[in-house]
Chain A
Amino acid sequence: MHPWLAFICFWKILFGKKVPAELAIAAPVPAPALPPAKPAAEKPAAERPADKPIEKPKVSAGAQHREGALALLAILQREARFVDFVRDSVDGASDADIGAVAREIHRGCSKVIDQYLKLEPVMPGDEGAAVTIPKGFDPAEVRLSGEAKGDAPYRGTLRHHGWRVVDAKLPALAEGVDRTVIAPAEVEL
């Protein structure tokens, strides 16, 4: 088996990408019936709604997400002190103190996202502007609120443009490393 596989599969599963059949056999983690969705990056934005398979992912066991989710948390902690920040109490702290920390957390989190993920709005356009939702839209991509009268197209106001991961180049994870340690205890000698 090529060692890359041991590294890669956790991430594929975490982000719901398809593991090709020939990889799935050799993968260290059993890769059961995963949805035949194409990796998001391969889909040109224009043809997304039309050719998207109707079949939606089946619910998969949480254990498969575990390694990847823990690793992502470790990265956010390492680069942005994310866990420290959300575990700390903000009650009674001044906005200036929180702000000074938030600036650093923001920078670190941005760095992680910039490095590993490419994000773009699901619906480009100004929030607050009038939009038309075409026939055959994907309810997973556009969440309607209020009463939809009749069939699409619908006219409405864009409240949030949404986010889509168009590319995920995530770190490969070595097998056998205990991921439950999000951050090791630091001891200075």
Chain B
Amino acid sequence: MTTKIIGIDLGTTNSALAAAGDDEPAHALAIPQVVGPGEVAEQATLPSFLLLPSDQEVAPLQLQLPWSGPLRYCVGTFARDRGAELPHRLVSSAKSWLCNPAIDRTAQVLPFRGAQRELEEAMQGGERVSPVNASARYLAHLRAAWDDAHEDAPADEQDVLVTVPASFDAVARELTVVAAREAGFAKITLLEEPQAAFYAYLAARGDAWRRELAPGDVVLVCDVGGGTTDFSLIEVAEDAGNLALERVAVGDHILLGGDNMDLALAAVVQRELGSTGSRLDAMQQRALVHACRRAKETLLGDGAPDKVPVAILGRGSKLIGGTIKAEVTRAQAEALLVDGFFPSVGAGAKVERRRAAGLRELGLPYAHDPAMTRHLAEFLARFGRMPTAVLFNGGVMKADRLRARVVELVRAWAGRDVRVLEGADPDLAVALGAAHYGQVRRGRGVRIRGGTARAYYIGIESAMPAIPGFAPPVKALCVAPQGLEEGQSVELPDDELGLVVGETATFRFFAAATRKADAAGALIDADADGIAELDPVEKTVEAEGERKPGELVAVRLESHVTEVGTLELWCVARDGRGRWKLEYSVRERE
């Protein structure tokens, strides 16, 4: 039997699973999960929530899965639903924590409690996990579900494609691979989510896409999920008479999505309820948010009614008379959701950035500006390209009104028509596209080229006389230019780098998404435009053989993009005796 392909969309709020084979088109797989106490059912997606309850809060017997005994944790639907009542035990948005350099992502910091001391006490030593481990548990659930359904094709022997946001830097990608290994997958390859959405479009359209796109087309992939927004541009070119695809730009990681819209709408309804004297408790507020999500979907669709009734049932067993009634009008939804989150702005609009408060609690770096369209305008302006077509993805972009607003604006900015490509089901497209990409890697279909979305640099302290009170200026040495493809390596031209045997060498590490012109070996200012600092890279060279502690080994740098899709940096001894891989250091920085 040939190896199967498993596509995994490891989402911020929902994960999905798809499969494909050599002659088997990509198809989504339902995921068995705990949906109620002691109840397991298949669902199309696995909510990316991890609940770590005490035995008094949820009995382990109620969390068992068909492939397990009683468990003391739970992922998926029940974790999300029951977790709303136990927020101190609930891990959510693990993926956003995975790419947050403000914390040590291998330390047990989730559920995140920040400065809230009462929560610390409420936990009473309850279990906590690292962002890597939380992601690993979602992936392990998918692996176990696969293994349970495919006894003759264990997941660790199949090709596994795991998607990551295009905005994930080298460190977050590496951590995703670590999580996938921890989950029991072995043959792992990473793929960017907007590219996966595009592969799903290619798979869904068959050969028809060759008639829909022509050389010179630039497709904007606009992916707005529950918690994050991700933009990419894919250019269509011609290569020896065939259409070729290249991912030419990726946006920043924006922590803004449909959940923010639901909360905003709920806040408006709650304010109106407050004025009539109705008060909601925490669970009713959650019911209200759900009701607002449904209202949003109805009111932003084609042929929407003027208003949608919203009823919040009372908490007690007496329902009649205890129900709080409200309504959401289309005008409200349009004003708040369309004009609030997708305002009509010019092509030159800039994202509003609030100055960070002096003392900022560690937490997720949520976007301050809720206007998706300003984020989009800034992204397109930064890359100086206007798309000719748009491919929507993510649950939010199912709404006709929001699609229409984005298309209307991009048309105005571009000054010409912009087409909308019809993709696959926005909830499952990324997983389906990942599975299809597995087929493409086996030579069945067109591959999107693009390579690394960023250029990477290490910090070199410039040789300058020390000035009291001033840190020596840091130069950034480009070690991996943008667009480095899987399997490619770059050797740096001669430079004067030395590793001291027995000591840990730590290099500051930088990335830039907008510096295509920097070639390997380019030396620029570390505070140059577009450069952002990542976690440092480090290596301890052990004394062995002829190498004595304290000895200085002259090395040159080499960078390599692995087949998995991660970036490796190597120090190669110039005397030819040894090479050492630099490791990403994700420990907390001061």
Contact = CB atoms under 8 A, between A and B. Distances in A.
Interface in B310-339: 311, 313, 315, 317-321, 323, 325
11 contacts: A3-B67, A75-B39, A84-B317, A100-B325, A105-B319, A169-B42, A172-B66, A174-B61, A177-B59, A177-B62, A188-B281
B275 interface: no
Nearest to B122: A189
Task: Count chain A CB atoms within 10 A of each CB in B41, B59, B148 and give the residue with the most.
Answer: B41
B540 to A, nearest CB: 46
Contacts of A101: 311, 313, 319-320, 323
A93 B62 contact: no
A88 interface: yes
A116 B30 CA distance: 13
Contacts of A89: 320
Contacts of A105: 319
B38 interface: yes
A97 B314 CA distance: 12
B197 interface: no
B36 A104 contact: no
Contacts of B67: 3
Given A104-B313, A188-B281, A116 B41 contact: yes
Contacts of B320: 85, 88-90, 93, 97-98, 101
Given A116-B41, A171-B40, A93 B66 contact: no
Contacts of A84: 317-319
Nearest to A96: B325
A81 B313 contact: yes
A72 to B, nearest CB: 10
In this complex, the interface size class of chain A, counting residues with CB under 8 Å from chain B, is: 35 or more
A122 to B, nearest CB: 26
B309 A3 contact: no
Contacts of A85: 319-320
Interface in A71-98: 71, 74-75, 78, 81, 84-85, 87-90, 93, 97-98
A71 B313 CA distance: 22
A116 B221 CA distance: 34
Given A88-B318, A93-B321, A97-B323, A174 B309 contact: no
Contacts of B35: 171
Contacts of A177: 37-38, 59, 61-62
Interface in A52-78: 71, 74-75, 78
Contact of B41 (A4, A78, A172, A179): A172
Given A7-B66, A172-B39, A87 B317 contact: yes
B68 interface: yes
A12 to B, nearest CB: 15
B317 A171 contact: no
A105 B36 CA distance: 18
Task: Count chain B CB atoms within 10 A of each CB in A7, A87, A169 and give the residue with the most.
Answer: A7
B319 A103 contact: no
A139 interface: no
Interface residues of B, number: 30
B66 to A, nearest CB: 4
B318 A3 contact: no
Given A97-B320, A100-B309, A174 B62 contact: yes
Interface in A132-189: 169-174, 176-177, 179, 186, 188
A110 interface: no
Interface of A: 2-4, 7, 71, 74-75, 78, 81, 84-85, 87-90, 93, 97-98, 100-101, 103-105, 115-116, 169-174, 176-177, 179, 186, 188
Contacts of B38: 173-174, 177, 179
A144 to B, nearest CB: 38
B282 to A, nearest CB: 8
A115 B41 contact: yes
Contacts of A103: 309, 311
A177 to B, nearest CB: 3
B119 to A, nearest CB: 13
B64 interface: yes
B43 to A, nearest CB: 8
Interface string B62-75: 10111110000000
A2 to B, nearest CB: 8
B36 A88 contact: no
A171 B62 contact: no
Contacts of B42: 169
A53 to B, nearest CB: 30
Task: Count chain A CB atoms within 10 A of each CB in B36, B62, B148 and give the residue with the most.
Answer: B36
B64 A174 contact: yes
A87 B62 CA distance: 27
Given A101-B323, A171-B36, A188-B281, A4 B66 contact: yes
Given A101-B311, A103-B309, A177-B62, A172 B323 contact: no
Contacts of A100: 309, 311, 323, 325
A89 B448 CA distance: 63
Contacts of B148: 4
B56 to A, nearest CB: 11
Contacts of B40: 7, 171-174
A186 B317 CA distance: 10
B280 to A, nearest CB: 13
Contacts of B323: 97, 100-101, 104
A170 B36 CA distance: 12
Nearest to B321: A97
Contact of A81 (B41, B64, B65, B319): B319
Nearest to B42: A169
B117 to A, nearest CB: 17
Nearest to A5: B66
A107 to B, nearest CB: 8
B69 to A, nearest CB: 8
Given A7-B66, A74-B36, 20 more contacts: A3-B67, A7-B40, A74-B39, A75-B36, A75-B39, A85-B319, A87-B317, A88-B319, A90-B320, A93-B320, A98-B320, A101-B323, A103-B309, A105-B319, A116-B41, A169-B41, A169-B42, A171-B36, A174-B61, A176-B61
Nearest to A105: B319
A188 B85 CA distance: 9
A178 B525 CA distance: 66
A100 B311 CA distance: 6
Interface in B217-247: none
A153 B67 CA distance: 52
A104 B39 contact: no
Contacts of B321: 93, 97
